[in-house]
Amino acid sequence: MTTLIQAKGLSKSYGSHQALKSVDFSVERGRIVGLVGPNGAGKTTILKSILGLTSYEGDLKVLGLNPERQRHQIMQKVSFIADVAVLPRWLRVADAVEFVTNVHPNFKVERAKHFLSKTSIPMNARVKELSKGMVAQLHLALVMSIDAELLVLDEPTLGLDILYRKEFYNQLLAEFFDEGRSILVTTHQIEEIENLLTDLLFIRDGKIVLDATMEEVAEKYIEVMVSKDDAAKAEAMNPVMQRDVFGRKVYLFEGVSREELEPLGELHSPSVADLFVAKMKEGK
Amino acid sequence: MSIAMVNSFKALVKREYWEHKGAMFYTPAIMAAVFAGLMILGALTGDHITVNSGHGFSIIDHLPQAMEQFENLGEEERSKGVQIGLYGAIVLFGFVMLIVSLFYALGSLYDERKDRSILFWKSLPISDTATVLSKFLAVTFVIPVFYSAIIAAFQLFLLLFATVAAWFGGSSGIAIWASSNLFGVIFNSFFAIVTASLWLAPLWAWLMFASSWAKKVAFLWGTLPIFMIVVAEGWIFQTTRFIEIVGDRIANGFVILNSNMHYMVGGDMFEIDVQRWYEVFGNIEFWVGLIVSGIFLAGAIYTRRYRDES
């Protein structure tokens, strides 16, 4: 099975508010997918639907199973970190390892001990005695020791300082990720993970506005740095966004070929953050 | 049930102990230590108590007399006296246990939502049924077992304390041990405590249910519906049946807890019919209570499963 998540017409309403408006997407094995959108766009609703934490309408399969009815089986092969602050404060590190060992059939306790031994976390400490960064390390050590096929991360590095944030993703790549697994991640600090991602999913007002691999994005979206004199020529080609940089103008084009753009100036691939801003402003 | 499921359930119960070690173990242990300490301190410093300023009253001087009186009693009377003293420990510890159980049940499915740790627990393959049942087992069985163990230890201390007092009274104290029926007392204490908690199971299950859907202040969500039913019943039918049933249930819980003492004293400690712990299992109301508990627990499981944590 290469498709880990398949959503067709996924919808969710909270009262009269439609959080998800018939969304289609899929996540294949061996991918790292960034789910990006402003607050309230429906990111968390998608993640909660996948994890069987909320009801939904439409068709959703996770590892071929129905998250609403087969949550228990799904969670044997799916891990998630909701955010760093959810480990109970009273729990001792050693007890946390013991607990997960006893309840999780795919947990490798030796791996967890190995990861923890590389940190300065004392085994007999309680979570409340650890720094925020250490709690994140502990949570990551537990999750990476689960032989999961899908890892869901919802703002996993929120509130951590930059050193821990970098370390968090480096470790995930080095110790966990391989072609047999997938990671689905939401974050506000998109610039920190854009080099990790293989796929992008942009969501706005409950609708997917971009669903592409990074290669497709690099092909389809091109930024051109244009001198002021050529600005009119560039604007005639319908750029999706423009901004000013050091007295020059940068235009973002969608679906315009390199050959057409090259005469205007220097070509770049846009950053995910710039692309995101463009997609969120589109049509507004 | 597979071995994995059993291990998983054991881990869940253990987790409850880790989280509530204070209420389950330290509270009764410290209580016992403080009482024991006060009694020893009282015996050491209080050998001269001054009554009504001036008239000295020495406990130690009176010990030989007291021992003589004790040993002159009939065997049955002696046995009664000692066992009443031992069962007395349940009155206080048992009351504290019920209060602790009440707060445990109220927090059981609310605290994890308040601190959001439910998102961690739910990231593991544990069913909501197993989680809720582990918490129900903790309140109806694990807490009573801890309190029983501490009570047994305290009863043992009472006997040792009385023995030392007997030595000061010039007696060997063997009569006290012979009259104590210690194993019988410990056995009956244990079952009275567990049975009382099981008798109150519908109360614990109701509070767990309230705990699973309380948005804030779980205590209010646990008590307000009861008051609303009482008020509605009074208004519509001009009766008070519901509160009588609830009150009766809770009162009987206390009574079962202290039923050993009641019969030892002579059967006139409480003015209602008192069930001995083994009679409880023959009472249809007990089984109805368990069925009602099952309904509330099903509600709690459903709520925990489908509640949207946003």
Parent domain of B73: 15-32+57-306
Q: How far is A240 from chain B (nearest CA, A)?
A: 35
| Six token digits for residue B238 | 């001009």
B140 within some domain: yes
pLDDT on residue A30? 94
Select from B14, B113, B124 the residue whose CB has the most chain A CBs within 10 Å, as the one to mutate to test that interface: B124
CA angle B165, B171, B176 (to 5 degrees): 70
Q: Calculate mean pLDDT across residues A136-155.
A: 93
Q: Does B278 touch chain A (CB under 8 A)?
A: no
Q: Calculate mean pLDDT across residues A26-54.
A: 92
pLDDT band of residue B310 (cuts 50, 70, 90) is very low
Select from A99, A107, A124, A150 the residue whose CB has the most chain B CBs within 10 Å, as the one to mutate to test that interface: A99
pLDDT on residue A35? 94
| Six token digits for residue B212 | 């699973």
Among the partner-chain residues B18, B120, B305, the one whose CB lies closest to the CB of A86 is B120
- Count of structural domains, chain B: 1
B123 φ, ψ (degrees, to nearest 5): -80, -5
ipTM of model = 0.90
Range in A7-21, A247-261, B48-62, B90-104 the model is least confident about: B48-62
Q: Calculate mean pLDDT across residues B102-126.
A: 93
Q: Which helix (H) or strand (E) holds B18?
A: helix B3-21
pLDDT band of residue B172 (cuts 50, 70, 90) is confident
pLDDT on residue A7? 95
pLDDT band of residue A24 (cuts 50, 70, 90) is very high
Q: Calculate mean pLDDT across residues A209-236.
A: 88
B72 within some domain: yes
Percentage of chain A beyond pLDDT 90 is: 52
Q: Calculate mean pLDDT across residues A53-80.
A: 93
Provide the residue type at B193 as one letter.
Answer: I
| Cβ-count burial A197-216 (b if 16+ within 10 Å, e if not) | bebbbbbbebebbbbbebee
Q: How far is B40 from chain A (nearest CA, A)?
A: 35
Select from B20, B123, B131, B305 the residue whose CB has the most chain A CBs within 10 Å, as the one to mutate to test that interface: B123
B5 within some domain: no
pLDDT on residue A266? 86
pLDDT on residue A93? 96
C-alpha span between A193 and B229 (Å, rounded) = 56
B143 within some domain: yes
Q: Radius of gyration (Cα) for chain A, nearest Å?
A: 21
pTM comes to: 0.90
Q: Calculate mean pLDDT across residues A16-24.
A: 91
Q: Does position B30 have pLDDT exceeding 90, yes or no?
A: yes
Q: Calculate mean pLDDT across residues A190-201.
A: 89
Which residues from chain B sit within 8 angstroms of residue A54, using beta carbons? 308, 310
The more confidently predicted of residues A117 and B259 is A117
Average pLDDT, chain B: 88
Which residues from chain A sit within 8 angstroms of residue B308, using beta carbons? 48, 53-55
Are A55 and B12 within 8 A, CB to CB?
no
Q: Does B127 touch chain A (CB under 8 A)?
A: yes
DSSP state of B49: E
Q: Does position A234 have pLDDT exceeding 90, yes or no?
A: no
CA angle A32, A35, A36 (to 5 degrees): 130
Range in A107-111, B48-52, B97-101, B220-224 the model is least confident about: B48-52
Q: Calculate mean pLDDT across residues A144-148.
A: 93
Range in A178-182, B127-131, B167-171 the model is least confident about: B167-171
Are A91 and B116 within 8 A, CB to CB?
no
The more confidently predicted of residues B217 and B97 is B97
pLDDT on residue B93? 94
pLDDT tens for A84-126 read: 678 999 999 999 999 999 999 999 999 999 999 999 999 999 9
Q: Does position B242 have pLDDT exceeding 50, yes or no?
A: yes
